[in-house]
Amino acid sequence: MKIAAILHLCMTLFHQGYSNNLASCQGRCGYGTDSGYPCQCNTACERYNDCCSDYFTLCKDAATSCNGRCGENYNSQNPCHCNSLCSQYNNCCNDYTQLCNAASGATITDAELKSLSETLYTLDSNKASASQLVIDPQALVPDSQTSSQSDLSPGKLFKSLDENTLFSRPTYAALLNVLDNYKRMTGQAESFSSQQITEQETFLKETMLNTKLGRELYGFLYTKGIYGSESEFIEDLKNMWFGLYSRNNNVLDSSGFEHIFAGEIKGGKVSGFHNWIQFYLNEKRGVLNYYSHSFNGPWSNYPDVLGLQFMWDGYYKQVGSAVIGSSPEFDLAIYTLCYIARPGKQCRLSLGGTELIIQTYTWDNSSYGNGKKYIASAYPVSM
């Protein structure tokens, strides 16, 4: 008798649960009308007054909110959107700014960006001094002539560099180890050995955890609630900078680090290439020919900023802007800060009281983690 009662109770509970599932829009939003269900979960149900009780909560409210949707891929069926392009197309959900911009660093004010960048500028103890680095900018051309591919500078950009001092420092040495790990042609898949992956991790730890500059950046982002621990910070930088995506031929051929620090070739032109150390190394090897510059920052010491025209082993770069003389940790810090605070936008910093504008771009074709986007590019814009 007891067994029969238990079985009856189980069957009753089962049917109640099954009935409850049928009467819910969980997983059914937008589905066509189905007579097998006691209620419906599409826009027609509003007209016929047969919507499930949770229709408006699950299907209507959720569809017009960015809760859990920040960074999602574009879907034309959605009434509003939660990706980095929705502001441009004026179709963001009403809470996009509150939920998504805050998550991507929009709570960082312009004043905070300028204050922190001044601190990073002061803490850049590994930057090159005037005695360690001498450059010769030579020809200055207007923007209208940057595409002429005319070599107007007979000499090299870098006249001298104290390699023995600078390159022996841990952050420089770590950068050099990573720079030569890439195939510069897009469309050719990148792959890394365990040693090369270790080199990537060493670069992040040396620059961001083992320098006062890097720890200052982490401390700021920690107080903003963007990262809860150093390990979370480094893991996100590893994905953001070294995570692979495709720029050509649907193969994993690129990353933010490769594009910005090492440089790439795409469509017969130089793409990216915004690091002065990579420029120096290739010019020294004789595979890079400096042509001219289209803008020069107002700084009288390092770091400085130049907009460069050059030929890299047969491929031309119309404007390869770069911060000159800065340490690897400074470049990584300001680009990271700007990408987190102003993804896909201009980011206004301050160095020695002078404004520096960094343009960032997100890679919207793929993401990692909770809808986070890989960094596509970051570089100084014309002053």
Strands (E), the chain: 133-135, 158-161, 264-266, 269-271, 288-296, 304-312, 315-324, 346-351, 354-368, 372-380
d(CA 34, CA 30): 11
Q: What angle do CA 367, 373, 377 make, to 5 degrees?
A: 130
Q: How far apart are the first and last CA of the chain?
A: 88
Edge-to-edge strands, sheet with 269-271:
264-266, 269-271, 315-324, 304-312, 288-296
d(CA 282, CA 16): 72
Residues taking part in catalysis: 259, 274, 317
Residues ≥6 apart with Cβ < 8 Å to 141: 148, 152, 292, 293, 294, 309
Alpha carbons within 13 A on the beta-carbon side of 281: 15
Cβ atoms 156, 290 nearer than 8 A: yes
Nearest C-alpha neighbor of 365 from the set 258, 264, 259, 251: 251
* Helix 170-179 and helix 194-208, axial crossing angle in degrees, nearest 10: 150
